[in-house]
Amino acid sequence: MNVLYIRSGYKGIYSYFDRWIEEGFLHSPMRLLSSLDLDAQSARSIKSFQPDFAVIMVGDRIPSEWLTWLKIEGIPVYVWLTEDPFYTDISLQVIPHAGVILTIDQNSADVYRELGCPHVYYMPIPTNQRLFKKLNTETSCHSNLLLIGYPYPNRVQLIKETANLPFTIRLIGKEWRKYLHKKTIKQSNVDIIDQWISPEKAVHYYNSADIVINPHRPYHFAFNKNQKSIQNISLNNRSFDIAACEAFQLVDLPAASPFSSFVSYHGINDFKRKAA
């Protein structure tokens, strides 16, 4: 089975996704291309390689003429929509070029089926268990509550409501200082690491926390591209990374089958009760 993988063109965590996908196909012939590589020479290389199918993530940074060319050449395109449903407007522009649609959200999968797409599958981003695993960590990294991620409004509100509880709270991600009150930032129990951290660092923080907080991105966040207002109902990839570390986490989505072992909270009061 020959696999053609075209990188998304996104940086940050996507550079890791690209690497992990490459590792996942170690036992299959695989050809890797980036969107910048798509030229006449690449076309000749693809024809020579004779891929059984092509895999792309997100897909919006890959020129549509190349997606059309793959279709004309009879190479099935598997589009993995890893920003659903937050970038639905973009996803809807990509799916006409796809033979198979993979999405990380079950609500989004239903929408694509309703639009008449015949091959749609729910496929969450799996965790890399070679990286995310149980570790013996130093006590200097310990925190009662840990939240890694961007300060979406629901996350900011949660921290505002819990900052005065008798817990140490560590927040990791860009712009937390921008959205929290200065009084909260100066509290001795609040530790802010105001930057994106790599998965290699995240695994140590997950292993050092009593409780990892995992509030999901709101489907109606102002900077989403989701005009259909599709509500996300599926757990994010961070949920599986945390679970692989055997860390206790609280999530704000109902933990339905097959992930019913996850502990959910419903509102601030329920969070406070379960965190205690």
Give pLDDT tens digits for 159-173. Answer: 999 999 999 999 999
* CATH number (domain holding residue 17): 3.40.50
What is the number of structural domains in the chain?
2
Residue 214 lies in a domain: yes
Q: What is the pLDDT of residue 35?
A: 74
Closest CA to 162 of 268, 270, 247, 274: 268
Residues 145 and 256 in one domain: yes
From 60, 90, 122, the end of a domain falls on 122
* CATH number (domain holding residue 203): 3.40.50.2000
Of the chain, the percentage scoring pLDDT greater than 90 comes to 79
Q: What is the pLDDT of residue 94?
A: 94
Q: What is the pLDDT of residue 144?
A: 96
Phi, psi torsion values for 255, nearest 5 degrees: -90, 85
Q: What is the pLDDT of residue 139?
A: 67
Residues 174 and 52 in one domain: no
Q: What is the pLDDT of residue 115?
A: 96
Q: What is the pLDDT of residue 42?
A: 87
Give the pLDDT confidence of 217-262 residue by residue, as tens digits: 999 999 999 999 999 999 999 999 999 999 999 999 987 666 666 8
Q: What is the pLDDT of residue 259?
A: 67
Range(s) of the domain holding residue 267: 139-275
Q: What is the pLDDT of residue 258?
A: 66
User: Digits of tens for pLDDT over the chain (276 positions)?
Assistant: 899 999 888 999 999 999 998 888 777 788 888 877 778 888 999 999 999 999 999 999 988 888 889 989 999 999 999 999 999 999 999 999 999 999 999 999 999 999 999 999 999 999 999 999 999 876 678 999 999 999 999 999 999 999 999 999 999 999 999 999 999 999 999 999 999 999 999 999 999 999 999 999 999 999 999 999 999 999 999 999 999 999 999 999 987 666 666 899 999 999 999 988
Residues 90 and 160 in one domain: no
Residues 83 and 155 in one domain: no
Residues 112 and 143 in one domain: no
Residues 74 and 164 in one domain: no
Q: What is the pLDDT of residue 136?
A: 85
Residue 129 lies in a domain: no
Q: What is the pLDDT of residue 137?
A: 73
Residues 179 and 252 in one domain: yes
In angstroms, the CA 203 to CA 226 distance is: 31
Residue 212 lies in a domain: yes
From 71, 90, 122, the end of a domain falls on 122
Residue 107 lies in a domain: yes
